[in-house]
Amino acid sequence: MERLLERRDAEGYPRLIPLREIYSFEEFLTQERDWHSAVTRGAELLRVYRNIGEEVVVSYSERLRGTVTTRRGMGLWYCYLTFSKRKDVYHTLTLDEAIEHAQERALQECSACAREHAQLAAWLMELKELRKEHARSVT
């Protein structure tokens, strides 16, 4: 199993991102996630970067007849699917559901995104406690 994961990390994640979604995915990253577009080279369909040195590339593989991306690209793709495609669901989350979601995401990923979700969960739990204290003091 470890060999398979090492190979996947070296070769990338194939056929994850549909070609028809590339433009929307790049738009999501640049407008909502503070990434910057960069010039693509060769078979690259998308290249974005952050000022902190991170870079994500989505390429087209003739051999696989589909897109290939890195682990970080895969994580961002799932963020895109979750938040961009299902905004209506997230506008109706309760505070408890938001805390649960942030805690789950913090455990599922191993990146800066996971740390951000852990911090978000902590802030949301603090907000919940402050609301409880406020409600007790008002009554």
Model pTM score: 0.54
For the chain, the domain total comes to 2
- Cβ neighbors of 65 (< 8 A, separation 6 or more) are none
Please calculate the CA angle 51-114-68 and round it to the nearest 5 degrees.
70
Domain that holds residue 131: 93-139
For residue 39, which amino acid is it? Answer: V
Say yes or no: 101 and 138 in one domain: yes
Q: Which residues of 89-113 are buried (b: 16+ CB within 10 A; e: fewer)?
A: eeeeeeeeebbebbbebbeebeeeb
Answer with the one of 84, 106, 124 that is the final residue of a domain: 84
Give CA angle at 20 (18, 23), nearest 5°.
Answer: 105
Residue with the larger pLDDT of the pair 99 and 84: 99
Residues 23-74 have pLDDT tens digits of: 888 888 888 778 888 888 888 888 888 877 888 888 888 877 888 888 888 8
97-130 confidence digits (pLDDT tens): 888 888 888 887 667 778 888 899 999 999 999 9
Mark which of 41, 67, 84 sits at the end of a domain.
84
The three state secondary structure string of 71-117 is HHHHHHHHHHHHHHCCHHHHCCCCHHHHHHHHHHHHHHCCCHHHHHH
Across 51-72, b (16+ Cβ under 10 Å) vs e yields eeeeebbbbbeeeeeebbbbbb
Are 49 and 35 in contact, with CB atoms under 8 Å apart? yes
Query: Does residue 115 share a domain with residue 71?
Result: no
- In angstroms, the Cα distances linking 16 to 35, 37, 74 are 20, 20, 7
